[in-house]
Every structure is written in structure tokens, then in C-alpha cells.
Amino acid sequence: MSQTYEWETINNNLTKLLRLANMPLTMKWFETEEDIRRVPKVRTSEKRFSPCQVMGQAIYFNWTVAVLARNIHTNYCRGIHGMFEPDDTFRSGKMFKNVWYSNDEAAK
């Protein structure tokens, strides 16, 4: 049995009770681009962005925004979000060293 939620009520309660400065952001992963196109008023771009920038657009402009793997500027961002098949370089942590971590072990 599928459960439905009153998202507007949930959002209003969270905003009021937690004194949020911004509306909560919801994320959904889709298997195909056709599935994304079925979302009303969805915005996509052919420019390259990081997923963080796309989330910022959604929050700042109150948009429904979709990002495609081809529009993410690096494999480490694609990999973190499951849009890239991790390879040995990704698993080794080399792509994270000196980006988020200062040494090989922490990056791994």
C-alpha cells in the first residue's frame, strides 16, 4: 500500500518549529532523462555545475531543478551522487586528496 504525505503541511511545520531560514530541500534520483522530463516545471541546463550549485539554485530561486551526469563538472561529484561507476582512482581516494583531505589515508 502506497503512503501519501501532506508535503505542504510537513514543510510548514518544519519551518515553524525549527525556525528554518530556508525551505527544506528534497532530492530525488531518476533512472532516465525521460522520467525527469515528466516532472512539472523542471529546469535543466546544458552548462556544467556542481550538484551543490544546483541545490543552491533550487533553494535560492525556489525552482525544481534537475542535473544530469553530463552536466556535472567532475567524476568525484558524479561518483558521490551515484552517477559514475567508481573506478580504481575513485576508490583509492586520489581524486579527493588535496580537495577535501590532506593525506592519502583520509582521502581513501
End-to-end CA distance of the chain: 41
Residue 97 in 3-state DSSP?
strand
Q: Are 99 and 81 in contact (CB under 8 A)?
A: no
Q: Which amino acid is at 3?
A: Q
Q: Give phi and psi for 85, each to the nearest 5.
A: -75, 115
Q: Report the predicted TM-score, pTM, of the whole model to 2 decimal places.
A: 0.62
Domain locations along the chain: 27-107
Per-residue pLDDT tens digits for 51-91:
888 888 888 888 899 988 888 888 778 888 888 888 888 88
Question: Is residue 48 within 8 Å of residue 59, measured between CB atoms?
Answer: no
Q: How far apart are CA 10 and CA 100, in angstroms?
A: 34
